């Protein structure tokens, strides 16, 4: 594969660190590479000192804008050609981040909404699991609505379960209790009409058993990683010939296709036989 025109990916990370590590792993697995040198150059600023985004959105903590902007500018100065942010709640500040740099900054909501709209059959409603800050800011509501897809929200008590699962991951707990909370809330959303479940917090893929969910699951981390690979590679880059374990994300309309798209109505996760 030609490496001459590959772009350098900057990762505005650390929100939280495990989610950033998961994003990088997925980025590597989705890159069409046969050798070390085929892989993308990636600059990761894992900055867990950025103030809590959900607390800020709820009016309960300091504004993270300055720290987000400073981290983005640092990535640009270091040589990044584009930026990915593996934190959904941070996208409430996407406009300020984009305005502060001269390089593209990917939008996880737009990428996930495009992936949802590309499912066959196209879902009418998506169940969204995310932080209370992301839900309050209606980030997924707007992106999905622009493609004619409704959002099924967790009820208040269900949102408490989602929040508990997210906090467990941030504390390093990837155990059964967090997984069961995610499964229960996903099942409730499906029961209220969700035809696809969106993992709209980058902690949640780490405690989600896709095979336990009866509709397609869109892993926002995976979708963002695929978007970063597409944006960084030359347009004529060859498709990776290998295993579904490396290529497990979804197609987006008008983009290079990546094997492993789940069909709506199937319980199979992306990339599984």
Q: For the segment 233-257, what is each residue's pLDDT rounded down to a tens digit?
A: 987 554 443 333 333 444 433 333 3
Residues 39 and 128 placed together within one structural domain of the fold: no
- Judge whether 34 lies within some domain: yes
Please state the domain count of the chain: 2
- Judge whether 49 lies within some domain: yes
- Judge whether 261 lies within some domain: no
Residues 23 and 64 placed together within one structural domain of the fold: yes
Residues 121 and 209 placed together within one structural domain of the fold: yes
Residues 211 and 227 placed together within one structural domain of the fold: no
Range of the domain at 74: 9-107+222-232
pLDDT of residue 157: 98
Cα angle: 99, vertex 100, 106; to 5 degrees: 65
Which of 239, 191, 198 has its CA nearest to residue 216? 198
* Annotation marks residue 167 as catalytic: no
- pLDDT tens for residues 83-107? 999 999 999 999 999 999 999 999 9
Residues 103 and 118 placed together within one structural domain of the fold: no
Which one-letter DSSP state was computed for residue 214? Answer: S
Work out the pLDDT band at 5, boundaries 50, 70, 90: confident
Residues 90 and 140 placed together within one structural domain of the fold: no
Residues 117 and 55 placed together within one structural domain of the fold: no
Residues 28 and 163 placed together within one structural domain of the fold: no
Residues 62 and 150 placed together within one structural domain of the fold: no
Residues 161-165 have a mean pLDDT of 98
Residues 226 and 100 placed together within one structural domain of the fold: yes
Per the prediction, the chain carries an average pLDDT of 88
| Residues sharing a CB contact under 8 Å with residue 34, sequence separation 6 or more, in sequence order | 1
- The pTM for the full model equals 0.87
CATH number (domain holding residue 68): 3.40.50.1860
Q: Cα separation of 44 and 48, whole Å?
A: 12
- pLDDT tens for residues 171-195? 999 999 999 999 999 999 999 999 9
Residues 54 and 14 placed together within one structural domain of the fold: yes
Residue 65 near residue 93, CB atoms below 8 Å: yes
- Judge whether 71 lies within some domain: yes
Q: Cα separation of 269 and 260, whole Å?
A: 8
Residues 138 and 210 placed together within one structural domain of the fold: yes
**Which of the following is catalytic: 11, 83, 87, 194?**
87
**Which of the following is catalytic: 201, 217, 225, 270?**
201
CA distances from 119 to 180, 214, 273 (A): 26, 15, 18
Q: Is 3 helix (H, G, I), strand (E, B) or coil?
A: coil
Token pair belonging to 83 = 């930026």
């Amino acid at each position: 594969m030609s490496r001459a025109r590959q772009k350098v990916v900057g990762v505005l990370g650390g929100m939280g660190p495990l989610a950033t590590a998961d994003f990088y792993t997925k980025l590597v697995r989705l890159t069409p590479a046969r050798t070390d040198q085929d892989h993308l150059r990636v600059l990761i600023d894992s900055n867990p000192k950025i103030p809590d985004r959900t607390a800020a959105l709820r009016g309960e903590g300091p504004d993270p804008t300055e720290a987000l902007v400073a981290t983005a500018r640092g990535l640009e100065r270091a040589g990044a050609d584009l930026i990915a942010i593996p934190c959904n709640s941070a996208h409430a500040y996407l406009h300020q981040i984009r305005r502060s740099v001269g390089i593209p900054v990917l939008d996880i909501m737009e990428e996930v909404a495009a992936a949802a709209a590309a499912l066959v059959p196209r879902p009418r409603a998506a169940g969204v699991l995310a932080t209370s800050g992301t839900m309050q800011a209606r980030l997924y509501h707007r992106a999905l609505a622009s493609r004619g897809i409704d959002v099924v929200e967790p009820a208040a008590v269900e949102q408490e379960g989602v929040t508990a699962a997210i906090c467990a991951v941030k504390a390093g707990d990837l155990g059964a209790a967090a997984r069961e909370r995610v499964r229960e809330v996903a099942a409730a959303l499906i029961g209220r009409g969700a035809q696809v479940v969106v993992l709209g917090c980058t902690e949640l893929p780490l405690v989600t058993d896709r095979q336990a969910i009866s509709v397609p699951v869109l892993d926002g981390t995976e979708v963002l990683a695929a978007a970063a690979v597409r944006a960084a590679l030359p347009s004529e880059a060859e498709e990776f010939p290998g295993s579904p374990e490396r290529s497990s994300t979804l197609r987006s309309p008008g983009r290079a296709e990546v094997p492993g798209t789940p069909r709506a109505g199937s319980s199979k996760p992306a990339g599984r036989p």
